[in-house]
Structure 1
């Protein structure tokens, strides 16, 4: 692929990842994230020429694409990338959240998407050193394998409800902490629990309604979205309240779920 084609692939997979996240399709989103990283690594292999060309995405019509390009280029063209991220962070939605988180990691010194490479050869004290490379997309430590369906079937309903409460709260905290891998693993577990409750019948599902009053906003948002298929009045009430009053990703997620529900495109978990 030419450099221009790699830049286009970066943009396409960024947009596709965002669309998958809004559909609640974490698996597809992860695939596009890995393909975006692969495109960046190929651009990076061409040195600053590849990085310079990626900067054309700072003017892309999609905000999420502009933000992602700026996130990857914070070291290479710091002032320009920061300007893009600061502007996007002033808005609302997922791109604004990602922009603000990227700026925070940059200021904290924990940003590692494109570190300076150290050439292989001899170090300052004569020792042989290997080239330093950028970390892989899944640099976070892997969580344990998700709980199997057979294990969920053995749990009482009360325990499934408690797992929903704790996992939905932890998932939102993981997302805010910039740990999407952890958040995706918890998403998969929550979906598996929801399917198990559905399989046990409407009375099992209705026990979720108690979580609509949970003090954790992430739990309320997840539960309200989940109950829309069998208790739309209760779910819509909570989502509307969160959309009006909750800040950040919770408020955005609630507003998106409401819009999808009104449009008839909200898919059951």
Structure 2
């Protein structure tokens, strides 16, 4: 690790010396007390709801990308692979879809947001599209790994007896992998909430855009309130994930 720390110029002691420590303490001191004006809290509630909407819409569009790509690229659902070797046409389609998913998730959502802000303008639309593309690639890749790592005996038997790809998925793979698939989806929704806040810093709307404005104005109390709301949103997503795990476990 030492060469890596040297290469990254990692010097945490600079935070505690001279002007840096004074600026840090002054900035943190401005967090107390958190802002709690009625108009401000109403604005925070509105932007928090918009942040959740951006994350949820982005994940929903990501699923539109991920689910078909998973069903078409998963080897365990390939009818031609039942003979032991997948047909050339199916293998090429599977590889093309996997490359497409790699391309989508290789570009960070922040970069997609910068592109879409210039295409569709400032606002939540850019954030929704950015999350959809990046998370569509992530979900499609992980869904495929989950399905292929499980027990495929039931789905293979269904395919051998004349069932289609969708029937093999819904009656063979989905029942035994539902808990893991839903848990990962909710985890990605939680990540999308965090991402939507970051995307707000580049003009994609939501709580992040207001947080950026408050930080530029050195309004520590407003920043503290929005950070607390942000923590509450992530906690809510975590509780939702735990509930779904218990319900489907």
Q: Does the pair score TM above 0.5?
A: no
Higher relative contact order (CA 8 A, sep 6+): 2
> Which protein has the larger Cα radius of gyration, Structure 1 or Structure 2?
2
With normalisation by structure 1, the TM-score equals 0.25
Higher helix share: 2
